[in-house]
Amino acid sequence: MNMFCCTEPDKREELQLELDPHSEFHKGETPAHRAAEHGHVEALQLLREARADLAAKDEEGVTPALLAALNNHADVLRLLQEAGVDLGAAKKDGRTPAHAAARKGHLQALRLLSEARADLGCASHDGTTPAQLAAQGGHGEALQLLREARADLGRASHDGTTPAHMAAEHGHAQALQLLREAKADLAAADKEGVTPAILAAANGSADVLRLLQEAMACRILRSIR
């Protein structure tokens, strides 16, 4: 049965009678994964009433909550929260719904996760944080939300990469300015000695270099006062 039909009112009874809510599709996906991915709240509620596992993980550890966050379906996340689902559950690489939402700059999903007290500063197994992914995509508003949630915007991954590296490498001056306002270290080097300035120069990001230069000048002035 096609899961997309479950959003049609005249198919509700068909869903309840014919679809096993515990069945699995490709690579361990369940009906709950499909409904969450596409934002089908009504279908997910029917699955909930059928006692389906709304926290089920596929073969990669992906949960319905992570798919909802990836696609900015805050209403789905709210339903999952009400059902007692852990909105901070990570997949096999340690990335969580917060990582998924931050990577896409999805503010509604991030706000819901924050309200649910999910850890917005958590690191994956390689040390990647939601802040790094938001900076990589130039999602300034997402970074601001993470800051308000008290996530560490200067936290480095295991190889020393920080949100500042990500923003500088991809030419996101606005994101870098927000990191500066959050007092993140814009001159920190990774484990190979690479700084945000080096990455900006390598990519010809003049506006980013100017911002980094200004930030460094201000820091020097403060140190000699």
Q: Can you list the alpha helix ranges (DSSP code H) found in the chain?
A: 12-18, 31-37, 41-49, 64-70, 74-82, 97-104, 107-115, 130-136, 140-148, 163-169, 173-181, 196-202, 206-224
| Whether residues 113 and 148 fall in one domain | no
Summarised one tens digit per residue, pLDDT across range 159-206 is: 999 999 999 999 999 999 999 999 999 999 999 999 999 999 999 999
Q: What percent of the chain has pLDDT over 90?
A: 83
Give the chain's domain count: 2
Shortest CA distance to 173 belongs to which of 151, 205, 147?
205
pLDDT of residue 17: 36
Helix, strand, or coil here: 51?
coil
| Whether residues 50 and 145 fall in one domain | no
Residue range 42-67: mean pLDDT, rounded: 97
Summarised one tens digit per residue, pLDDT across range 147-163 is: 999 999 999 999 999 99
DSSP of 108-171: HHHHHHHHTT--TT---TT---HHHHHHHTT-HHHHHHHHHTT--TT---TTS--HHHHHHHTT
| Whether residues 1 and 106 fall in one domain | yes
Q: Which domain holds residue 36?
A: 1-119
| Whether residues 18 and 98 fall in one domain | yes
> Which of 89, 119, 149 corresponds to the end of one domain?
119
Q: What percent of the chain has pLDDT over 70?
A: 84
Q: How confident is the model at residue 216 (pLDDT cuts 50, 70, 90)?
A: confident
| Whether residues 63 and 138 fall in one domain | no
54: which 2 tokens?
A: 């709304």
- Residues 6 or more apart whose CB falls under 8 angstroms from that of 38 comprise 3, 4, 71
| Whether residues 109 and 178 fall in one domain | no
Q: Kind and range of the H or E element at 195?
A: none
* CATH number for 80: 1.25.40.20
| Whether residues 193 and 222 fall in one domain | yes
Helix, strand, or coil here: 34?
helix
pLDDT of residue 219: 59
What is the rounded distance in angstroms from the CA atom of residue 212 to the CA atom of residue 187? 8
